[in-house]
Structure 1
Amino acid sequence: MIDYVRKILNARVYDVALQTPLDPMVRLARRLDGPVFLKREDLQPIFSFKIRGAHNRIAQLSDEARAAGVICASAGNHAQGVALSANRLGIEATIVMPVTTPAIKVEAVRYWGGNAVLYGDTFDEAHAHARQLERERGLIFVHPYDDPDVIAGQGTVGVEILHQHPDPIEAIFVPVGGGGLAAGIASYVKFLRPETKVIGVEPTDAASMKAALEADERVVLDRVGLFADGVAVRQAGEETFRLCRQLLDGVMVADTDAICAGIKDIFEDVRVLAEPAGALSLAGLKAYAQANPRRSGSLIAISSGANMNFDRLRHVAERAEVGEAREILLAVTIPEVPGSYRRFIQVLGNRAITEFNYRYAGSSDAHVFVGLKLGDATREKAELVAQLERLSYGVIDISADETAKLHVRYMVGGRAPTLDDEIILRCEFPERPGALLGFLDGIGTDWNITLFHYRNHGADYGRVLVGVQVPQGDRAKFDARLVALGYPHEDETDNPAYRLFLRG
């Protein structure tokens, strides 16, 4: 440990890296009833801590090694670190990246002058190809985590944390992919403050370090999930495993929903969009805080990166509420009779409805996919489910159902070719509690609702696609009811997409 502390204190990182702030997370601290801090490595020039280890390794190369050029394999952030460091030192850099790497990271490598080579679907395939190029071209390989100089460079994060927070720290939570950051921080923190816990956090579907620690040897995972691509590593490093086995106080795991909730928490407190790997440690911190309400010091998470692809934001926003246990998803069976929707919405009361999907499928029962935003999901969910069951509604909690969240919610529907006199309306109404019930009250119970699709998008107005079975003789009465309702609406009965996919 002393050798690593010496290497960390002598690391060359500040030629290109910044000393990043340790920001208090005021809103989250209030919710968790204790001080919470975020180490802002997302503020580095490449928006990731990886610049520290990459530059420390490259800066110590001999003139002969620099002339040969460097190569690395990376899912993105280490790649940018190598590209930037090599650019500043006038060294040619080749970066091998999996083809699954987010475009924002590939473009960043090229921006910093690196030669990006896309190869393979996983880090391991890219790594093998980089090693082959290393041998063929005589290049110097810069490992993303399993190298003492890289580990020492990452360890400077720990130096800064202890300088910035001299008060007691109960635990520091570190994202773990290959383990370089965790090994570096733990080497320094455990030397100076052995009472401070250092806890690794991995995605549930890429927990290679946790598996290695449990087996007491490095293991190779069959596959890893790519949502948190910055830590999608099938096998922990040899040197990082040795250090983490000695120094870490444990490794936690976090699923996609918890990571998305962490992204939202970071945005709400410091107004930055962390990438999934960047919010991973905060997801672990929150789980620890909830399991350990009596704490003796601050909790610190590392915001390790902010290289987020913009097209992921919709997925993150939808999963964050479930991950924070603020939204529940239910499958509810109600009678297929006029007025049943209104009665069902009345049972839901003033709870904020986030989603409501239904398509007519027969004359007996209606199956509704409904999302609800709750203050205390654990308590309120139990109360609501019990209430619905007392009223003889069939209820299934699908909040934790991956298939429901990823696919079924978008596929509720189907054709209803035998449904006569159906009118399709696209409507808007003010987005406030009770607005959906007010909309149904305005339509009334004289006609059967045959289709309903609504999703809260956080805007001022809710957008609804609704189908109503209105006999020809009732059209004038129905039109008058819509006018009295006063909500903007468009008749979409002749819409070709509706005719093709929903009418038949």
Structure 2
Amino acid sequence: MMANLSEEQLKRGVICSSAGNHAQGVALASHKLGCNAVIVMPVTTPQIKWKSVKRLGGNVVLVGDAYDEAQAYAKKRAEEEGRTFIPPFDHPDVIVGQGTIGMEINNQLKDKIHEIFVPVGGGGFIAGIAAYMKRVAPDIKIIGVETTDANAMAMSLHYGHRVMLDQVGNFADGVAVKMVGEETFRLCKELIDGVVLVNRDAICASIKEMFEEKRSILEPAGAVALAGAEAYCNYYGLKDENVVAITSGANMNFDRLRLISELVDVGRKREAMLATFLPEKLGSFKEFCE
């Protein structure tokens, strides 16, 4: 999208809102194209992400607790300063760019794939991949994966129109979006084959498995597709099939590893976490123990 901007647009600069990966892409593109870029990110963004954006030359502004608040600020500032807003997912050029991942997968594996599992936030990534793959290899299933507490695409597909979630969980902050894009939803409604939902414990278990297998540490949003692929294959009893899980993020804050390690055994059902309610009165804990 940025390569298609005019010289005048590049001179005025660009602005985007992002939870991480899109921000780094815009910062890198602005550096290569020689234009000024303002990157708006939620205040909850892990430090490793916004520091990476700064290293790439982006001017980082932290606004809001969730992506949608950051986006509203970025769009307003774009109008005030005459900058071009670079959307993270809901634009044909951005969707085409993200779809090149599908082209890479197809070039490497050709017709040897049964399913491709794609993490879903706003829907641009899966829309681009599905648009390409369904043209060149229509028999390959394209499955989206969302978290149970940020499932805007699953809800929208269920009701047949875009749904705005009241709130989203930020554990997998890279896919924590309250509403999918208009164009991305249109494409996904026509092209994708379903959505799998995974919870936090399953994501943590997948992070551990990837570490043990490849010594790579995925961020939660990067492990979403891996957790979804495992759940899907177990549910349908798939064996001896090639499936692709796109692990699209490795921006892990080191201090989050402790929480993830604690949840792994719950995710693999080797441990159980029990909860109860106690009345706030003297002796209630003793009564519970007895």
With the length of structure 1 as denominator, give the TM-score of the two structures: 0.54
Partner of 1:123: 67
Structure richer in helix, relative to its length: 2
**Equivalents in 2 of 1:119, 1:166: separation in Å?**
43
Structure richer in strand, relative to its length: 1
Relative contact order (alpha carbons < 8 A, sep ≥ 6): 1 or 2 greater? 2
Give the drift of 1:109.
Answer: 1.3
* 2:3 maps to 1:79: no
**Equivalents in 1 of 2:37, 2:118: separation in Å?**
28
Alignment counterpart, residue 181 of structure 2, candidates 237, 255, 280: 237
CA contact (8 A) 1:175 1:182 kept: yes
Q: Secondary structure at the match of 2:39?
A: strand
Residues 285-304 of structure 1: pairs in structure 2 closer than 5 A:
285-295=229-239, 297-304=241-248
Residues 423-465 of structure 1 show CA distances to partners (whole Å, capped at 9, x for unaligned) of: xxxxxxxxxxxxxxxxxxxxxxxxxxxxxxxxxxxxxxxxxxx
Residues 404-423 of structure 1: pairs in structure 2 closer than 5 A:
none
Give the drift of 1:168.
Answer: 2.5
Q: Which amino acid aligns with 1:157?
A: I
**Equivalents in 2 of 1:126, 1:142: separation in Å?**
13
Q: Which amino acid aligns with 1:198?
A: I
Residues 198-219 of structure 1 show CA distances to partners (whole Å, capped at 9, x for unaligned) of: 0000010000011110110001
Partner of 1:277: 221
Alignment counterpart, residue 326 of structure 1, candidates 264, 267, 270: 270
Give the drift of 1:63.
Answer: 1.0
Alignment counterpart, residue 196 of structure 2, candidates 244, 252, 255: 252
Partner of 1:214: 158
Q: Which amino acid aligns with 2:70?
A: A
Any gaps of 5 or more consecutive residues in structure 2?
A: 276-284
Q: Which amino acid aligns with 2:215?
A: R
Q: Secondary structure at the match of 2:5?
A: coil
CA contact (8 A) 2:38 2:60 kept: yes
Any gaps of 5 or more consecutive residues in structure 1?
A: 1-56, 332-360, 368-504
Give the drift of 1:297.
Answer: 2.8
CA contact (8 A) 1:168 1:296 kept: no
Partner of 2:108: 164
Q: Secondary structure at the match of 2:38?
A: strand
Residues 387-402 of structure 1: pairs in structure 2 closer than 5 A:
none
**Equivalents in 2 of 1:120, 1:325: separation in Å?**
35
**Equivalents in 1 of 2:202, 2:83: separation in Å?**
40
**Equivalents in 1 of 2:23, 2:253: separation in Å?**
16
Q: Which amino acid aligns with 2:107?
A: H
Q: Secondary structure at the match of 2:16?
A: strand
Q: Secondary structure at the match of 2:169?
A: coil
**Equivalents in 1 of 2:133, 2:39: separation in Å?**
32
* 2:143 maps to 1:199: yes
CA contact (8 A) 1:170 1:296 kept: no
**Equivalents in 1 of 2:230, 2:250: separation in Å?**
19
**Equivalents in 2 of 1:294, 1:60: separation in Å?**
43
Alignment counterpart, residue 90 of structure 1, candidates 34, 38, 60: 34
**Equivalents in 2 of 1:316, 1:199: separation in Å?**
25
Q: Which amino acid aligns with 1:189?
A: M
Partner of 2:44: 100
**Equivalents in 2 of 1:135, 1:267: separation in Å?**
44
**Equivalents in 1 of 2:84, 2:124: separation in Å?**
19
Give the drift of 1:269.
Answer: 1.6
* 2:210 maps to 1:266: yes
Residues 28-58 of structure 1 show CA distances to partners (whole Å, capped at 9, x for unaligned) of: xxxxxxxxxxxxxxxxxxxxxxxxxxxxx11
CA contact (8 A) 1:170 1:295 kept: no
Partner of 2:255: 311
RMSD, matched Cα: 1.6
Residues 339-363 of structure 1 show CA distances to partners (whole Å, capped at 9, x for unaligned) of: xxxxxxxxxxxxxxxxxxxxxx76x
Partner of 2:282: none
With the length of structure 2 as denominator, give the TM-score of the two structures: 0.93
Partner of 1:136: 80
Aligned residues: 281
Q: Which amino acid aligns with 1:317?
A: S
State the structure with more CA Rg: 1
